[in-house]
Amino acid sequence: IPSSPLSDPGWTSINRGVLICDECCSVHRSLGRHISIVKHLRHSGWPPTLLQMVQTLASNGANSIWEHSLLDPAQVQSGRRKPNPQDKIHPTKSEFIRSKYQMLSFVHKLPCRDDDGVTTKDLSKQLHSSVRTGSLETCLRLLSLGAQANFFHPEKGTTPLHVAAKAGQVLQAELLVVYGADPGAPDINGRTPMDYARQAGHVELAERLVECQYELTDRLAFYLCGRRPGILDLSELAKAAKKKLQALNNRLFEELAMDVYDEVDRRENDAVWLTTQNHSTLVTERSAVPFLPVNPEYSATRNQGRQKLARFNAREFATLIIDILSDAKRRQQGKDSSLGLGADDDQHDYDSVASDEDTDSELTTMDSSDLSDGPITLQEYLEVKKALASSEAKVQQLMKVNNNLSEELRRLQKEAPKGEWHGSGTDSDYDNTQTYELSLSMGRSSEEEGRGEAEEGGGGEAGEPDPTLPCTEDVILKTEQVTKNIQELLRAAQEFKHESFVPCSEKIHSAVTEMASLFPKRPALDAVHCSLRLLASSASRLQVECRKAAPSDLSSPAVDYQLLTQQVIQCAYDIAKAAKQLVTITTREKKQ
């Protein structure tokens, strides 16, 4: 590498249309492909027209699109500037790169309009018109402002890619595809951009659009080239995993295939990165990209599943790719329709592969540090996806639980005999254990929970009420306080007020301690013991998770607030569940 890295940039960001040096590339890769699609100029495989598109953008000032406001003399006077080449990569350059490409801090801002959505539509119409010309930078600027590459023009009945194909604008077509344009999208008469290119005599462009349409499967197949025969895992576990793969509906299968594609891109760039750096000082933990970065447009479920792909060893990953390729072929040919593929194509989550019997004991301990603990099997990966799906459903349940729990408490209060509403004389020294245990299944309904608790505690038959239990009124009052504090935490999570996590968790922990103190230290009923244990351990876990939202110092690792919020909500769900169980048990026992 020359003394000035920018004098010989070895990498490029395809979707940003800029050339970057090794130093900046280490940051770009950590942003994720949804922000910056990175490729090496010499060591990566390139379709010629795609490379030409990038070079054209870079030489025609694409960089000025992403630094628009910095070129304003007023900004220079205000002190805002680009880092100098001699500035350190961390934190100076890395923060600037994230601000420039992730936050889009310097892109030209359009004036706000009262009618939402009109601006995007206008930009998309301009893009639809502009792609017939050779001005790539104009179209990139429109895309940077929010123009949609797949915009369907209501009057013309076509997308921008149809227009570019008809005009023979190969580089515009490349840019549109990079920004997500569908090469197989039909116009109002059912004709695709490939049809437009062929009818206009642009044979090479038509062939390139076909390549783009099959880029995912072609890239996966290419990744396998050079490997010895026999890499297909024919174990029983692999066969079972393949059947589960075939059972996914088309939408979920496409999402999985795209995630694997991104993982292939990460691994290929990783190999090139290590090859080109040799003993460079850039090869450090800070520049490493050990798994796919979080994409905020995806659910936490999908992001965690994507990151798990990094744990596949070469053999396992190759087996998964082969299964995806073979199943992609089967689906395109329309075979095995008896499997019901495509029946639930409108489903947007992973619930179709989830089971009511799934537990989340593994999920609640999962974080980024788990991703480097060795290889996993294909079966384990699918099981993790199932557990994640179950957790995602429970998060939604929590919102409903907190909305109707107060109403249910009031109902129970009305139903309880009047003679029961008296002060509790129980003075307990219940120890608030901080053991991290999840002893109850999260997949059962309220009715099943009630039956299970009755069986565990011997309360399934009529008998004498347990005199050691507190009065129902006291339990309900404490539960209402717990619920109120949980609702405050949920509002903070919905409004992204992460600084409120710690004080909210402290209030919840205090309310839980007060509620637990109503009960004897060693309750006679096993169901009460299990519920108290879940209540205490969940409150303690909630405190631990919430403290992660406030790093102790600047050297602490960056917080993934999306995954953290899911963990916090899961803990809150467990607390609400345990409190509800205690109210149910107390009410039932007092009625006996």
pLDDT digits (tens, 9 = 90+) for 528-539: 888 898 899 889
Residues 426 and 475 sit within 8 Å (Cβ to Cβ)? no
Q: Is 135 helix (H, G, I), strand (E, B) or coil?
A: coil
pLDDT in the model for residue 398: 54
If one counts every other C-beta atom within 10 angstroms of the C-beta of residue 197, the result is 28
Closest CA to 222 of 47, 45, 48: 45
**Fold assignment, 472-591:** Four Helix Bundle (Hemerythrin (Met), subunit A) (1.20.120)
Helix (H) or strand (E) holding 448: helix 446-457
Residues 542 and 571 sit within 8 Å (Cβ to Cβ)? yes
When pLDDT is cut at 50, 70 and 90, the band that residue 317 belongs to is confident
Report how far residue 592's alpha carbon sits from residue 461's, in angstroms, rounded to the nearest whole number.
9
pLDDT digits (tens, 9 = 90+) for 61-75: 999 999 998 887 766
CA distances in angstroms from 172 to 44, 188, 378, listed in the order given: 22, 21, 40
If one counts every other C-beta atom within 10 angstroms of the C-beta of residue 314, the result is 11
Lowest mean pLDDT among 177-191, 244-258, 319-333, 455-469: 455-469
Closest CA to 572 of 509, 524, 500, 517: 509
Q: For the chain, what percent of residues have pLDDT higher than 70?
A: 68
When pLDDT is cut at 50, 70 and 90, the band that residue 313 belongs to is confident
Q: Is 235 helix (H, G, I), strand (E, B) or coil?
A: coil
Report how far residue 570's alpha carbon sits from residue 548's, in angstroms, rounded to the nearest whole number.
15
Kindly list the domain boundaries of the chain, sorted by start residue. 11-44+67-102, 113-221, 472-591
Report how far residue 309's alpha carbon sits from residue 303's, in angstroms, rounded to the nearest whole number.
10
pTM above 0.85, yes or no: no
Q: Indicate whether 171 pLDDT > 50.
A: yes
Report how far residue 308's alpha carbon sits from residue 187's, in angstroms, rounded to the nearest whole number.
38
Amino acid at 164: A
Sign (positive/negative) of CA torsion 430, 436, 441, 446? Answer: positive
When pLDDT is cut at 50, 70 and 90, the band that residue 484 belongs to is confident
Between 531 and 52, whose confidence is greater?
A: 52
CA distances in angstroms from 365 to 44, 346, 571, listed in the order given: 38, 31, 11
Q: Indicate whether 366 pLDDT > 70.
A: no
**Fold assignment, 113-221:** 1.25.40
**Fold assignment, 11-44+67-102:** Annexin V; domain 1 (1.10.220)
Q: Indicate whether 420 pLDDT > 70.
A: no
Ramachandran quadrant class, 146 (left: phi over 0; alpha: psi -120 to 50; beta: rest): left
Q: Indicate whether 337 pLDDT > 50.
A: no
